[in-house]
């Protein structure tokens, strides 16, 4: 293979792989983007080793690991302080108030599903937003609910049968 073509493939693999790994850091779970990014990064390092030797490949590996560490750090920081931290997907400590610890207070109370419960989500009872879980069924946002119990830091609810 032409050395210039090997360099172009190496650079494309490393850049595309880094972009996919960074993209994966902002997508919940581990999926195709992360796996493809890692495969491209490994391919780029192999091309670096074949065309430039071991020392260059080790340097590229360190660079790749630094990029991945930076992506994980940015994702973590965003989840704690940035835009992602304001997402309803992130459960916050203040959402689980001391009132939710007292199951007897909420048992039998009625409210409204503040988010879809699939089975977990939030309900609003007497102006309080609480972590909740349905008793197994999907409950749409806005449906009236009744509290039936308490488990693992959240109230258990079911739809009100009018």
Q: Look at the alpha carbons of 100, 102, 103, 108 in this order and tell me if their dihedral is positive or negative.
A: negative
Q: Which of 65, 86, 107 is the last residue of a domain?
A: 86
pLDDT in tens, 37-74: 889 988 988 888 888 889 988 988 898 888 778 877 87
Between these two residues, 136 and 57, which has the higher pLDDT value? Answer: 57
List the CATH number of the domain containing 141: 2.40.50.140
Q: What is the mean pLDDT of the chain?
A: 79
Range of the domain at 17: 3-86
Structure tokens at 95: 């959402």
Question: Number of helices (H) and strands (E), helices first, in the chain?
Answer: 5, 5
pLDDT in tens, 111-122: 999 999 888 889
Residues 82 and 109 occupy one common structural domain: no
Tell how strand 154-159 and strand 120-125 pair up.
unpaired
Residues 79 and 102 occupy one common structural domain: no
Between these two residues, 78 and 148, which has the higher pLDDT value? Answer: 148
> Domain tally for the chain?
2
* CA–CA separation, 41 and 47 (whole Å): 10
* CA–CA separation, 29 and 67 (whole Å): 19
């Amino acid at each position: 293979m032409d050395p210039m073509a090997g360099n172009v493939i190496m650079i494309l693999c490393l850049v595309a792989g880094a972009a996919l790994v960074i993209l994966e850091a902002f997508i919940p779970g581990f999926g195709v983007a992360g796996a493809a990014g890692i495969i491209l990064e490994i391919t780029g390092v192999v091309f670096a080793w074949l065309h430039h030797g071991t020392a260059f490949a080790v340097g590229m590996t360190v660079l790749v690991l630094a990029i991945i560490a930076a992506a994980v750090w940015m994702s973590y920081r965003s989840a704690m302080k940035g835009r992602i931290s304001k997402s309803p997907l992130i459960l916050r400590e203040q959402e689980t108030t001391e009132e939710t610890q007292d199951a007897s207070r909420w048992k039998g109370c009625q409210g409204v599903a503040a988010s879809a419960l699939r089975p977990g989500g939030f309900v609003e009872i007497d102006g309080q937003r609480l972590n909740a879980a349905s008793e197994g069924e999907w409950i749409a946002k806005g449906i009236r609910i009744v509290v039936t119990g308490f488990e693992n830091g959240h109230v258990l609810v079911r739809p009100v049968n009018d």
